[in-house]
């Protein structure tokens, strides 16, 4: 049973929502399940609509002062980074318990949040003079939007929260943050830890079910919705934001292709391909979700990937030496099983895995699927789990066409012994990020977003910061 300053997991935690800088107790709670056991291990506060109103009002009130002092905001972001760094051993066990990922990955995620806060603390808000003559001085400046409603999914609750909180706050906005009901604990704890660091109301953290997210998107106070989650929910968010013309950034699902060119040495690339497909148990928006391999290399690549899958240690994320934890939640676990079954029924071969592991928890054996092609659900849809289809292709045009024949467009990669050749093919991918000889490299200064149905707008870098601002033209007539 995990124990920390936040109380004991295995019963009701003492974690509370943060509204107006204070703890906001709720009468109702909902269960949070530990995916490694499949049993409830904590109860989280269930926010009422009145409490959401209070959170929005406190954010609106805090906005009046917060927007005025850029220096104070930069200092606050640095202090937040220090809190994340100092709280690795506090937050990481919570994250592992609710999400399932190995503890060392959870620690890395918390340290990443510190990195993101430090990066944005130093990022300049652009201020451009576009005309300075006898007629006028014309400047273009960036203003904050107001209250931001931030909604996050269950795969990276800490990092994805930091991708929103750090730039939004630096730009002068205030926020109400809602994590996924599957992983509310780490975000609630972040709210608690930052109570002494941020002025009351600047960051409110609420928890509840999907309905709470819907209340947020239709609430009159927020001027921007920053959403990360599935395509289906992203469309609902866009619809709910439209009548009020709220700004939206949508970071949605992906079905990333990796195309291996005919000059690769399978043994030289499969470690990296495997890692980018199975990181976080495949539950990464921009994980490799389908691999295209030239017919001549098909057998060796499938064998090499299968070797890697067999070597992986799957288990409870709290155990030493575990590479992959459980799938995060029952619906997702059942979806992965359903997509794998569907592929096998259609003639695919599960070279490794192919089934859940018997016993408690949502453990699914790392699965390499061969003899599978486009038109199969696991190739066409986002599986978001530890199962990877490997698809043979005839020539590069064929591979690129099949890689692009999808509504998804988050990212993709091309692998070649000749990086120039690889990069030329990568540039033909219709997606937000096209890597050559790597995949899944995400950095604070690098914009990240999806083409097509994978998103609207970007996060990170100066471009992500601008998404939390509005342009204002300051025109001073001189004649
Ligand atoms: P989801 O869409 O089911 O839920 C995401 C969040 O939206 C949760 O907090 C949920 O409670 C909330 N929500 C649900 N219904 C809502 C509504 N009607 N209005 C407002 N909010 C609502 O997604 P998930 O299953 O938690 O996450 C997995 C998905 O997220 C995958 O598709 C994955 O690819 C995607 N994702 C994308 C990125 C990215 O940056 N592009 C990053 C991580 C995950």
Q: Give rounded-to-5 percent helix, strand, coil for the chain.
A: 40, 25, 35
Which one is catalytic: 98, 109, 251, 365? 251
At 46-84, the pLDDT tens digits run 999 999 999 999 999 999 999 999 999 999 999 999 999
What is the pLDDT, as a whole number, of residue 12?
Answer: 46
Per residue in 375-394, pLDDT (tens digit) is 999 999 999 999 999 999 99
Going from the Cα of 92 to the center of ligand 1, the distance in angstroms, rounded, reads: 21
Q: Over the chain, what is the mean pLDDT? A: 97
Q: Distance (Å, rounded) from C-alpha 290 to C-alpha 379?
A: 6
Question: 285 CB less than 6 Å from ligand 1?
Answer: yes
Does 464 sit in the ligand 1 pocket, CB within 6 Å? no
The H-assigned helical ranges of 70-209 are: 70-86, 88-99, 103-121, 157-170, 185-193
Q: What is the mean pLDDT of residues 293-308?
A: 98
Q: Which residues pair with 30 in a beta bridge?
A: 44
Q: Which of 47, 117, 285, 431 is catalytic?
A: 285
Task: Give the number of other CB atoms < 10 A from CB of residue 89.
Answer: 12
- Tell whether the model's pLDDT for residue 1 goes beyond 60: no
The pLDDT tens digits for 334-375 are 999 999 999 999 999 999 999 999 999 999 999 999 999 999
Q: What is the pLDDT of residue 14?
A: 82
Share of the chain above pLDDT 70, in %: 97
- Average of per-residue pLDDT across 181-190: 98
**If you take atom 15 of ligand 1, which residue's CA is the nearest one?**
210
Q: Are the C-beta atoms of residues 285 and 253 closer than 8 Å to each other?
A: yes
pLDDT tops 90 at residue 479: no
Nearest in space to 18 (alpha carbons), one of 182, 156, 175: 175
Q: Does the active-site annotation cover 430?
A: no
CA nearest to 163, candidates 448, 440, 454: 448
Tokens at residue 284, please?
A: 């990464």
| Mean pLDDT, rounded, for 268-297 | 98
Q: What is the pLDDT of residues 436-464, one digit of tens each?
A: 999 999 999 999 999 999 999 999 999 99
For residue 352, give the 3-state DSSP assignment: strand
285 belongs to the catalytic site: yes
């Amino acid at each position: 049973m995990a124990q920390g300053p936040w109380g004991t997991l295995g019963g009701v935690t003492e974690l509370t929502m943060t509204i107006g800088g204070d703890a906001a107790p709720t009468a109702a709670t909902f269960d949070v399940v530990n995916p490694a056991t499949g049993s409830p291990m904590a109860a989280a506060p269930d926010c009422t609509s009145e409490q959401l109103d209070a959170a929005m009002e406190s954010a609106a009130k805090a906005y009046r002062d917060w927007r005025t002092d850029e220096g104070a905001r930069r200092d606050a972001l640095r202090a937040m980074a220090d809190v994340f760094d100092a709280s690795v051993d506090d937050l990481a066990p919570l994250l592992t318990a609710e999400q399932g990922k190995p503890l060392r990955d959870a620690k890395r995620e918390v340290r990443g949040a510190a990195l993101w806060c430090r990066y944005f603390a130093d990022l300049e808000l652009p201020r451009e003079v576009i005309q300075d003559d006898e007629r006028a001085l014309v400047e273009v400046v960036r203003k904050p939007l107001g209250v931001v409603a931030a909604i996050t999914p269950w795969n990276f609750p800490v990092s994805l929260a930091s991708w929103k909180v750090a730039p939004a706050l630096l730009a002068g906005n205030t926020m109400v943050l809602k994590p996924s009901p599957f992983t509310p604990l780490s975000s609630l704890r972040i709210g608690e830890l930052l109570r002494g660091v941020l002025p009351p109301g600047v960051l409110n953290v609420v928890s509840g079910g999907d309905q709470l997210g819907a209340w947020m998107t239709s609430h009159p106070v927020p001027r921007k919705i920053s959403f990360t989650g599935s395509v289906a929910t992203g469309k609902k968010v866009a619809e709910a934001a439209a009548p009020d013309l709220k700004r939206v950034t949508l970071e949605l699902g992906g079905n990333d292709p990796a195309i291996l060119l005919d000059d690769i040495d399978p043994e030289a690339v499969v470690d990296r391909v495997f890692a980018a497909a199975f990181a976080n148990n495949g539950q990464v928006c921009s994980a490799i979700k389908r691999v295209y391999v030239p017919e001549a290399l098909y057998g060796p690549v499938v064998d090499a990937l299968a070797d890697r899958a067999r070597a992986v240690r799957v288990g409870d994320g709290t155990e030493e030496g575990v590479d992959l934890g459980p799938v995060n939640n029952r619906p997702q676990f059942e979806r992965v099983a359903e997509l794998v079954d569907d592929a096998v029924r259609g003639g695919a071969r599960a070279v490794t895995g192919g089934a859940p592991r018997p016993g408690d928890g949502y453990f699914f054996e790392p699965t390499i699927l061969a003899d599978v092609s486009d038109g199969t659900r696991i190739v066409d849809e986002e599986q978001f789990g530890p199962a990877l289809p490997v698809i043979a292709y005839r020539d590069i045009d064929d591979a690129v066409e099949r890689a692009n024949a999808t509504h998804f467009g988050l990212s993709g990669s091309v692998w070649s012994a000749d990086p120039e050749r690889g990069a030329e093919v990568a540039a033909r991918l219709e997606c937000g990020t096209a890597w050559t000889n790597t995949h899944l490299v995400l950095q604070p200064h690098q914009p990240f977003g999806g083409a097509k149905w994978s998103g609207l707008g970007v996060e990170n870098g100066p471009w992500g910061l601008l998404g939390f601002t509005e342009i204002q033209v300051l025109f001073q007539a001189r004649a």
